[in-house]
A = this chain, B = another copy of it.
Amino acid sequence: MLPFENLISIDKQKPTPAFRQITDQLIALIRTGRLKPGIFLPGTRQMAQMLCVNRKTIIKSYDEMLGQNWIETILRKGYRVMTDLPLLKPRSFQPRTSFSLESEQQRLRIQRSLPIIDQREIKQSDLVIDDGFPDPGLSPCKEINRVFGEDDKNSLFRQLLPQQPQGGLHALKEATSTFLNDTRALNISTREIMMTRGGNMGLYLAANILLEKGDQVALSATSDLNATGVFQHAGAQLLFLRSDEQGIDTEHLEMLLVTNKIKLLYIMPHCHYPTTVVMSAQRRRKLLELMICHRFWVVEDDNGYDFHYQGGPILPLASSAHNGRLIYIGSFERTLCTPARVGFFVAPPEIINRANRLQGLIDLHGDTYMELLLLRIITNGGLERHIMRSRKMYAHRCESICAMLDKRLGNFITYEMPKAGLSIYISFNASFPFDKFIEETTAKGLFFNGIVSLYNGEKAIRFGFASLSIKEMEKAIEVMDNAANHLIKTRRNYLINRAPIGAISA
């Protein structure tokens, strides 16, 4: 309720009677939009108390407003501001004609590439294919309940929370560094790690700490626009690297290094986003050589390390003998579950100190509840158990979806069976009516979150299979198959008559 006692003042020295003063001020509140159409006024008794006047004064005032059609009585509910009032003051936050932002800085020109589906469009019966998230049903989310439901919650949080550790709970940094050392053969202590917020925070911190305006940044030409957006926001000049099924082309990088002073290279060697390509061992070795020789910084984004299906994972560059100018970032979000929006940021101690300070400016402290949960899951072995269990499940789902794709859509698409990660990169030939295809599937209640348009015109879907049941996969494939066949019937020549690569290599 509005604080009417502060909004309405009654001056007893004035010749105007109190009820009229109140009426005038209430009408002014309605006119200026502070009292909005459809809002109920306080009851006469309550209003009289708030304004310290006799109740009769309020009744008189409300009667006056009823007469002027500003308010109406609703049976058993009270007095309501009329809903069809004309001519109210314009919203104060709407720009005026004299108001122009164009003349101001235009730093942020980046648009997200992936279409953000409007959340109001989706019905409960629809199926949304994500771009590679874990199955919430498999994740140890139940632990969240236990953490929140604990008896000693209050005292524990009172002890922990007010301290707002900027770089994350010390115990979590310890547990995470041990986890990374054990699984990725890193060699770090708590001085070389900090916890970040989920998603992009690690990349944002790295870019803003290392880059000055005009610095050159190299990254794969197939990188998603969010990464390029972060570097452009930091004022960097971007150099795009050719890349193929072995990852970024290190020869191209070497060539660029002859004429350019590259300050930073951004790379996702294990499972590139969005193409899911794993960088070959040969290229990795070459990259390490170039790093040491040319002394540029590398930001290595950990993606898909924990889930691999063909042989073991390949150790990150961060575990090799690099030149010390490397930042290794990742998040628990795509390993554990979506709400685990806590990331890690591994770097030399001096970089950690600066990243801590910058993160503190952006967001004083992290999600300490989730940090506590993660700490518990890592230290009691739950994380490793979760990874082992999920890996088996996801490998099965990966094989199933590949078999379905081959059988039903083999003629329209190209894909490689993923070596790691939680999604398949499905390419469509340039002549395929991709936009119409998406229109048809959307109309049938099938949404894709990972629609990719590459710089070379290639259209693809990053199809997250890990969170889907076999039944949901079948439904999705059914809809896709029908849509594609329908389009084919309309125009025969969309058919791409070649066997998918995945079918051969599988």
Chain A residues with a Cβ under 8 A of chain B:
1-7, 29, 32-36, 39, 89, 91-96, 99, 101, 104-105, 107-108, 110-112, 116-120, 122, 124, 126, 128-131, 133, 136-137, 141, 144-145, 148-149, 153-155, 157-166, 169-171, 181-183, 185, 187-189, 192, 197-201, 204, 208-210, 212, 226, 229-230, 233, 311-315, 318-326, 338-339, 341, 346-351, 354, 357-358, 360-365, 367-369, 449, 464, 467
Contact = CB atoms under 8 A, between A and B. Distances in A.
A92 B39 contact: no
A32 B321 contact: yes
A154 B137 contact: yes
A172 to B, nearest CB: 10
A324 B90 CA distance: 11
Nearest to A129: B162
Contacts of A201: 362-363
Nearest to A106: B354
A212 B32 contact: no
Contact of A346 (B93, B119, B321): B93
A119 B170 contact: yes
A112 B365 CA distance: 12
Q: How many copies of this chain are found per oligomer?
A: 2
A349 B92 CA distance: 11
A212 B29 CA distance: 38
A99 B325 contact: yes
Given A357-B108, A362-B201, A136 B158 contact: yes
A159 B111 CA distance: 23
B91 A312 contact: no
A276 B356 CA distance: 28
Given A94-B348, A145-B148, A325-B99, A338 B157 contact: yes
